[in-house]
Structure 1
Amino acid sequence: MSKRLRLAALLAQPLALLALLLAGSIPLHAAETKAPPVKVVIAGLVHGHVNGFLKRAYQGSVEIVGIYEPNREVANRYRERYKFDESLFGTDLAKMLDERKPQAIWAFSNTYDHLAVVEAAAPRKVHVIVEKPLAVDKPAADRMAALAREHKIHLLTNLETTWYSSLAEAHRICVQEKQLGVITKIVGHFGHPGPDRVEPEFLAWLTDPKLNGGGASSDFGCYGGVIMTWLRGNERPQAVTAVFQTNRPETWTTVDDNATLILEYPQAQGIIQASWDWSFPRKDVEIYGRKGIIRTINPTDYDIRLAPAKRPEEKTAAPLAEPYGTSVEYFAAVIRGEIDPSGSQSSLETNLIAVEIQDAACESARTGKKVELAK
């Protein structure tokens, strides 16, 4: 009898299968069943990243049980684009949560509304995932964190760079294995030529300083705050100095399009460059240590130069293992209790520090002075 027929026969005989599993004759994974999908309500459709989520959401890890979007024109456009049933949609978030009973909300609203989503979800014991940044300012972030902790829910932030294997490899080399020795400087570049090609409902709030918390400084500065905090083991900087400016005032009339932040740590610096005025998109990081340098180039490639080498060695990082390679798989695993997100780029603690950095940067840019963070 072939191995396939033998396994089929055993599956029809549960006691025999159990005996062989216990004896180690059949690998445990042959009898494993896939975990049920996590039930999710989407809160908002005005964040353009929702398209990437919807294209991946039906791989079995997530089941969409409701879509909250008060703008009917936007809701109808997405319903037609993805062939959703009309019954999924609603304009009352609290009612939807009570009726659909999701395990999690994934917010694709403007950043200002993240607080309202957590206020609706947390008392109902519904986990929350928001797109970066966590909040528009520190008071909102602190309120969101207090609710999450009080009601014992996960409050997670999705950043694209979390799924970059090049960054994960840099973290392993620099932080876990300390191959670069003492880290003295981290420089991050984040941005693109500008968001003026995005959908109108997305552009409307990206260029509203209240709803977005700023322009490029908020949209891309948050990447630097999170990544530097992650690489520093959730250490808060001692001080922040920032310059925000608008190079294209005819396009960005109310927000900045260029920002530079300098973070001061004991015996180290972090420099964040965020822009809507670059010739191409980029999210790359340079890490300098006393024994060498690592530069991430794109999501998979990086180069490393360790003393006494005269030139860097170019490398490609292996893909991240499941479920760490995609947001949908990862967050589903966290919500099912399979992964502890502590210390990750998506963790609440890391993103609270990143919002504190952003708040200090806004004050520094406004006053022209260095801002010391409270000890």
Structure 2
Amino acid sequence: MEKVGIGLIGSQFISTIHAESIKKVANAEILAVMSPTPGHASAFAEKHQIPHHFTKLEVMLAMDEIQMIVIGAPNYLHCEITCKAAAAGKHVVVEKPLAMNLEEADLMIDTCKKAGVKLMYAEELCFTPKYVRLKGLLDEGALGRPIILKQSEKHDGPHAAHFWDVERSGGGVTMDMGCHAFQFFRWLNKNNPVKSVYAHMQTSVHGDKTIGDDNAIIIVEFENGVTGIAEESWTKLGGMDDRAEIHGSEGVAYADVLQGNSIQTYSTKGVGYAVEKAGNTIGWSFTMYEEIWNYGFPQEFEHFVDCVLNDKDPLVTGEDGRAVLEIIYAAYASAGSGKKVELPFKPSVKKPYKLWKK
């Protein structure tokens, strides 16, 4: 069986999810992991039985056996790594958000096109089983014409320090989690163009850690009249909360990724998850089984590997990542001005949060 050789970039939370997910893909093999922090890559490689580990990107990219790299590095490194990987002839999977700004996004897209490699955008909500079924209900006409789309993702804050630092992340919870909702809406609505964005943001709990937004409500208006409502929070205790709704002209559907597919749990110590404890789970929480599959990560990587093996177009592309980034920019601009922002939007700053915190 032909397998796609994969190199992982990063050795923390999201790269653990990548590693565990790729292990479930028959046509894939993780050959190497790279992290510039001494000891991180070697420990990660030992834990996940990966044959090679590196502290220098260029050394890993020189491996001919690697066909695809997966970027789990902080946001501000996505563009540089993508361009180097493309120059080395590697297909690229980039974790959300695609880049820090639209200029970087355009450079990544153009560089990968010129190099003849695929730029794939890792948005797992397009592969999450409950959400795939939700979209199926819409596509088959069971709900009629879509009117309102809703998606919310909430927990008590990010797992790595760079998310709190807006200079390295580009923004707060809207940058970190709003990106999920925006691509989710675009996917449900068949990539209909976005007409306008209106957002309200606050730093309500974590002001001692960040100047970024830790709560946000964003309204996305599409040209075909569909409205998307995103609710994002870094202030919700008790573990992850991830749910969506479709309100149509002939029906309504609700999907909760965790409840109904989990074990209601009370613990005085907190619950350990398959990958890593998801937020503060002391007290009541929802304990996941098959957590990674339930979120669609193995399905996502099975698709990306198939795209490389059989030269298929990915479901979620660099262009999709750029479109999401434009919506993120418009959201921060709206929160900063208190007004609805029309698209297309051409920002004048390199980091989205600066349109809100001026």
Q: TM-score range by the shorter chain?
A: 0.7 to 0.9
8 Å CA contact 2:201–2:215 kept in 1: the answer is yes
User: How much is the aligned-residue C-alpha RMSD, in angstroms?
Assistant: 2.4
SS in structure 1 at match of 2:194: coil
**Larger RCO (alpha carbons 8 Å, 6+ apart):** 2
Q: Corresponding residue for 1:43?
A: 9
TM-score (norm 2): 0.79
State the distance in 2 between where 1:73 and 1:253 align: 28
Letter in 1 for 2:230: I
Residues 277 and 243 of structure 1, relative CA distance in 2, 3 Å threshold? same
SS in structure 2 at match of 1:89: strand
TM-score (norm 1): 0.76
Q: How far is the alpha carbon of 1:281 from its aligned partner?
A: 1.3
SS in structure 2 at match of 1:335: helix
Query: Which one of 123, 128, 137 corresponds to residue 159 of structure 1?
Result: 123
Q: How far is the alpha carbon of 1:107 from its aligned partner?
A: 0.8
1:177 partnered with 2:136: no
Query: Which one of 228, 233, 238 corresponds to residue 195 of structure 2?
Result: 238
Query: Which one of 123, 127, 132 corresponds to residue 168 of structure 1?
Result: 132
Query: Which one of 144, 153, 169 corresponds to residue 108 of structure 2?
Result: 144
Q: Which runs of 5+ in 1 are unaligned?
A: 1-34, 303-319
Residues 149 and 162 of structure 1, relative CA distance in 2, 3 Å threshold? same
Letter in 2 for 1:326: Q
Q: How far is the alpha carbon of 1:255 from its aligned partner?
A: 1.8
**Percent sequence identity over aligned pairs:** 27
Q: How far is the alpha carbon of 1:338 from its aligned partner?
A: 6.2
8 Å CA contact 2:165–2:210 kept in 1: the answer is no
Q: How far is the alpha carbon of 1:301 from its aligned partner?
A: 6.0
Q: Which runs of 5+ in 2 are unaligned?
A: 262-292, 346-358
Q: Corresponding residue for 2:245?
A: 286
Q: How far is the alpha carbon of 1:157 from its aligned partner?
A: 1.8
Letter in 2 for 1:370: K
State the distance in 1 between where 2:157 and 2:91 align: 32
State the distance in 1 between where 2:307 and 2:259 align: 24
1:63 partnered with 2:34: no
Q: Corresponding residue for 1:275?
A: 233
8 Å CA contact 1:61–1:328 kept in 2: the answer is no
Q: Corresponding residue for 1:52?
A: 17
State the distance in 1 between where 2:259 and 2:193 align: 28
Letter in 2 for 1:50: S
Q: For residues 238-296 of structure 1, what are the alpha-carbon distances to aligned partners after superposition, in whole Å with 9 as ceiling and x for unaligned? A: 11111221111344333211111111123221111111112341221111111111111
Q: Corresponding residue for 1:252?
A: 209
SS in structure 2 at match of 1:133: coil
Q: Corresponding residue for 2:156?
A: 193
Q: How far is the alpha carbon of 1:193 from its aligned partner?
A: 2.0
8 Å CA contact 1:166–1:301 kept in 2: the answer is no
Letter in 1 for 2:253: I
State the distance in 2 between where 1:245 and 1:36 align: 50
8 Å CA contact 1:128–1:154 kept in 2: the answer is yes
Letter in 2 for 1:180: L
State the distance in 2 between where 1:77 and 1:254 align: 33
Letter in 1 for 2:318: L
Q: Corresponding residue for 2:222?
A: 265
